[in-house]
């Protein structure tokens, strides 16, 4: 949704009207984007020499530890002054993001997109597990049906 907002408004902080998220244009954009998302993940996992996986959820919950782990993985241990700089900047950034408004609370995707998302997320989760042993935190995704395959109407509300 963030990329859609950027593409439509040509502004990093701009937002389109909420009604636009129900449009056919948005649904087509979403379908193409999830397929491309999977292709990028698959290519990195299949062809990357040294790939470090960072999950957005982990980055948001503990950004300093994630940056430090990534730097260590690539052989660049973090210096104490650099770590303090990160702490200062992340704290300011997190506080600014908390003040921002959410786009909306409802899942904007139609049933076809939700099913396509589930397929692409499941394929990515399988490939990620096979290649790295990491588990995709897909159960945290707002518009992802649980293993019990809740009715799609329940996902959208």
**pLDDT tens, position by position, 99-153:** 455 545 678 888 898 889 889 999 999 999 999 999 988 777 766 665 544 444 4
Beta-carbon contacts of 77 under 8 Å, excluding residues fewer than 6 positions away, are: 71
Rounded CA gap, 60 and 137, in Å?
A: 13
Rounded CA gap, 16 and 10, in Å?
A: 10
Instruction: Give 103's DSSP letter.
Output: S
Prediction pTM value: 0.73
Whether 121 and 128 have beta carbons less than 8 Å apart is answered as no
Q: What is the pLDDT of residue 76?
A: 93
Whether 22 and 108 have beta carbons less than 8 Å apart is answered as yes
Residue 110: in which H helix or E strand, if any? none
pLDDT tens profile 56-82: 888 888 888 999 999 999 999 989 998
List the chain domain ranges: 2-156
Token couple for 42: 């698959």
């Amino acid at each position: 949704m963030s990329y859609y907002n950027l593409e439509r408004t040509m502004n990093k902080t701009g937002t389109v009207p909420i009604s636009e998220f129900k449009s056919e244009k948005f649904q087509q954009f979403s379908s193409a984007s999830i397929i491309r998302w999977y292709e990028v993940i698959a290519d990195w996992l299949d062809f990357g020499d040294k790939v470090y996986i960072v999950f957005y959820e982990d980055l948001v919950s503990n950004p300093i530890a994630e940056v430090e782990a990534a730097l260590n993985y690539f052989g660049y241990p973090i210096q104490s002054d650099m770590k303090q700089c990160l702490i200062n900047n992340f704290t300011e950034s997190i506080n600014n993001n908390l003040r921002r408004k959410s786009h909306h609370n409802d899942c904007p995707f139609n049933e076809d997109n939700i099913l396509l998302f589930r397929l692409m997320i499941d394929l990515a989760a399988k490939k990620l597990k096979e290649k790295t042993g990491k588990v995709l935190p897909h159960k945290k995704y707002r518009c992802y049906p649980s293993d019990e395959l809740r009715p799609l109407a329940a996902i959208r509300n």
